[in-house]
Structure 1
């Protein structure tokens, strides 16, 4: 009877050792290779598509900005996000909103998100900072976007994540162009 148990004990020991090796390898990979990293968000272009003002009615001023943001996903998992909204603020006041359609950013890939934002003049002019900024010919906006979704690694592991991005946009009225600086972070 002792001989018939010996192969089972060896088989169980080898199985336990292999299982421990697999678990240690998976944990090591998760904390090194698959550890979620911050995406890099850069503004590829901010264009002033139109700027119109009426000399007789200052409230009839409209600004259309074309914003294209590049997202570089350094993770080994794709990021699938839901529909969202981008907000453009002018000295703390929301002056425009733009929809961001649901999409997926591939693992270790790049993705461009583009949108057009129409800023209505009434919301700008009612802000007390507008006269001063118009005198310097630079209007400063802040664009914020929150994307909620999931990071998917090897179609097995899913983790909820939210990315927050904020871009400071300076609109140069006379040159009819815009510059921006963006920041981003991810919360898991």
Structure 2
């Protein structure tokens, strides 16, 4: 039997066909595309966050661990083995053997190896003593302490200058100077030459036979 036709002569759609099927497929496709877009955005955000984190780590690493600082070399304290001081105006003098404790402060994250050097002591610009500084190594983030024996003598100091000093005070003012040349080695991958200069002032108190007022820069 021929199928019935509508007024326009078209055959009616089969009753089992879902008129909303195409719409459902389009909605599913849109949802799938949106889900993929969200995943891509999430991956992009993660990638950016990782890059920022890595950059921050490298920056902090470069500004802290890999930054090379100048070590500090200074006189820390002293004691005396012999202490001969004559304060008479006619013939003032001093002959002192000093056991000085020195320190090399290394603030770097790597060892500081320095070469042999010399420390010199001056009284009012006149050299009155010196001592050798043997080569050694200051460990990372630590201070190397060691002692040197210095014979201080006023032989080259003008008598009138020393007489005026003893007349006005009971101290012997001293300055110390030295220079260490060495290398800072960080993580065995980077070595950098670093020199440090000592420039300290101090006073020997004649009455108490003690070293005080140490100031270094």
**TM-score bucket of the superposed structures, by smaller chain:** 0.7 to 0.9
- Aligned residue for 1:177? 210
Pick one of 37, 44, 68 that aligns with 1:36.
68
Instruction: Quote how far apart the aligned CAs of 1:138 are.
Output: 0.5
Could you tell me whether the CA contact under 8 Å between 2:95 and 2:153 is conserved in 1?
yes
Instruction: Quote how far apart the aligned CAs of 1:95 are.
Output: 1.2
Could you tell me whether the CA contact under 8 Å between 1:84 and 1:100 is conserved in 2?
yes
Q: Secondary structure at the residue paired with 1:169?
A: strand
Over the aligned positions, Cα root-mean-square deviation in angstroms equals: 2.7
Determine which structure has the larger strand proportion and give its number.
1
Task: Work out the number of aligned pairs and report it.
Answer: 162
Pick one of 170, 177, 184 that aligns with 1:144.
177
**Distance (whole Å) between structure 1 residues aligned to residue 98 and residue 68 of structure 2:** 32
Q: What per-residue deviation string (whole Å, max 9, x for no partner) do you get for residues 55-106 of structure 1?
A: 8x94774111211023332210111000000010111111111100000001
**Distance (whole Å) between structure 1 residues aligned to residue 94 and residue 77 of structure 2:** 23
Q: What per-residue deviation string (whole Å, max 9, x for no partner) do you get for residues 20-78 of structure 1?
A: x98996565233322123435554322233222578x9477411121102333221011
TM-score, normalization by structure 2: 0.65
- Where does the alignment leave 5 or more consecutive residues of structure 1 unmatched? 1-20
1:121 aligns with 2:154: yes
1:158 aligns with 2:191: yes
Q: What per-residue deviation string (whole Å, max 9, x for no partner) do you get for residues 115-141 of structure 1?
A: 1110123123x2643112222111101
- Where does the alignment leave 5 or more consecutive residues of structure 2 unmatched? 1-52
TM-score, normalization by structure 1: 0.74
